[in-house]
Amino acid sequence: MTKADNRRSVLQVKGLTVRLAGEALPVLRSLDLAVEPGDVVGVSGRSGTGKSTLLHAIAGLVPWLRPATIGGDVLLDGESLSDLDPGQRAHLVATCLDRPDAQLFLPTVGQEAAAAVRLHGDQERFDHAIRSLDVEPLLDRRTTELSSGQRQRVALAVALGASPRPVLLDEPTAHLDQEGVTALGGLLTEIRGMGGSVLLSEQAGWRLGNGIRRWLELDDGRLSSHGTPEAPRFPSPPVTALDRVVLEARGLTVERGGRRLLDGVDLDLRAGEVVLLSGANGAGKSTLARVLTGLRRPATGAVRRSGRVGLMLPSAELQLFAGTVAGEVEATDTSRGESARVLRRHRLDHLAARAPWTLSRGERQRLVHAALDLQRPSLMIVDEPGQGLDPQDLIDLVGLLHRRAEKGRAYLVISHRLELAAAVHRHLQIEGGHLVEVAT
């Protein structure tokens, strides 16, 4: 992606203030920001500080799709975008938000790519992005049959193929395996070299290495310069008995969309055990999780469970049904007295009256885990817990997992965040359709 282009643009935010409907205080306060040609800017910050809101305001999604009071302006080459709706801005600024599945509308990947070329008009650049992110083998696939990581690769290719127009990326590494993260970092470096520009929010910035030219931190509604975010350090798992089997799987064959993903899987999970499951995008991790919980039938084999099994899906919004955060937790509080304590434990007490759909991605993740935690399952399967969680949130979550493990709960953590291997008893990986154990 080295072809020069005369459409390089300066994206500016001037005095941007955003107060979401129902909130007493603005989430963004008089922000000023300029993203010049050749600039790739990363924004970090605690969960819920407004990183996604900043990108949504630039893309026009706030206040068009979410009521808010807006002050200040967003400009492209000195021209205000304030009078343009999200569809009109899409011709000028490419966007990949934190839910890539919500940006894929056509039946197949190939049709999505063709539509992007019609919108932005550079076949060569799109072809390069598609090859770099290994999307070519997916072009004939239906988008509904893709894994979360594969959908993210497709959405990123569609957005990055529009460069050197400014590109907005929200948590672009959330579902990517390490190969995908490396490819993304390479594309960001190429975009810088060709004079394109990218503004992205990311909770795991260390994964992108030198792909980001500079980092900013969003705190209390304001931006300030910051160094590259550092990977969190996790404690070792607790010493537990690991004697009682809570889930036993034998001879599992797992398929999705007519494709065989796993064959001959044998797996034992024991009370008090914390296990990490990793593997490439599309390897079958989430599909296996659904089979283990009984939400999906295996093609062959059997699963025996001892006690309740909880599943935290990678898309938290699919598990939120109540009108308020407090109501979501109270609905699963069988003791009718623990809800307030659980909200404090998960740093959600100040959001108790909010509607779940208004929360940030990390806040939704914490809310789903809080509700499932109250059900006291024997085994909890947590699918990609790191998305939306800042490093401290992830450290706190690991601490909670360890405390629950000491009391006998088993955890299967599905993630591409390999730094979590330091916090588990066992690390399993899907390779070539089989489960293999990785030394921890």
3-class DSSP state of 236: coil
Look up the pTM and report it: 0.91
CATH entry 3.40.50.300 includes domain 11-226? yes
Rounded CA separation 305/287 (Å): 17
Q: pLDDT-based confidence at 2, cuts 50/70/90?
A: very low
Which ranges of 137-177 does DSSP label H, i.e. alpha helix?
A: 148-160
Q: Which token pair is 231?
A: 């990977």
CATH code of the domain made up of 245-438: 3.40.50.300
DSSP three-state, residue 136: helix
Contact call for residues 269 and 247 (beta carbons, < 8 A): yes
Round to whole Å and give the CA distance between 37 and 41: 11
Three-state SS for 79? strand
DSSP category for residue 142: B
The reported pLDDT for the residue numbered 257 is: 84
> Which has the higher per-residue pLDDT, 100 or 3?
100
For the chain, percent of residues with pLDDT exceeding 90: 77
Above 50 in pLDDT, residue 330? Answer: yes
Q: How far from 322 is each of 217, 310, 355, 371, CA to CA, in Å?
A: 32, 18, 8, 11
DSSP state of 376: -
Structural contact between residues 325 and 348, judged by C-beta atoms closer than 8 angstroms: yes
Beta-strand relationship, 68-76 and 214-219: unpaired
Q: What is the mean pLDDT of residues 170-188?
A: 95
Which amino acid does the sequence have at 294? G
Q: Phi and psi of 418, rounded to 5°?
A: -70, -15
Residue 13 vs residue 209, higher pLDDT: 13
Kindly report, residue by residue over 256-303, the tens digit of the pLDDT.
988 999 999 999 999 999 999 999 999 999 999 999 999 999 999 999
Rg of the chain, C-alpha, whole Å: 22
- Average pLDDT over the chain reads 92
| Pairwise CA distance, residues 387 & 374, whole Å | 21
Q: What is the pLDDT of residues 202-241, one digit of tens each?
A: 999 999 988 899 999 999 999 999 999 999 999 999 998 8
pLDDT at 4 over 50: no
For the CA atoms of 296, 300, 304, 310, the dihedral, rounded to the nearest 10 degrees, stands at -20
Question: Which of helix, strand or coil describes residue 114?
Answer: helix
Checking if the pLDDT of 249 tops 90, the result is yes
pLDDT at residue 297, rounded to an integer: 95
Do the first three CATH levels of 11-226 and 245-438 match, i.e. the same topology? yes
Domain-by-domain residue ranges, the chain? 11-226, 245-438
In one-letter notation, the amino acid at residue 286 is: S
CA distance 367 to 346: 7
State the Cα–Cα distance between residues 374 and 334, nearest whole angstrom. Answer: 8
Q: What is the pLDDT of residue 1?
A: 52
- 410-414 sheet: strands from edge to edge: 309-312, 379-383, 410-414, 274-279, 426-431, 434-438
CA torsion angle 293 296 300 301 (round to 10): 10
Q: How far apart are CA 43 and CA 203, in angstroms?
A: 8
Most confident of 140-149, 312-321, 422-431: 422-431
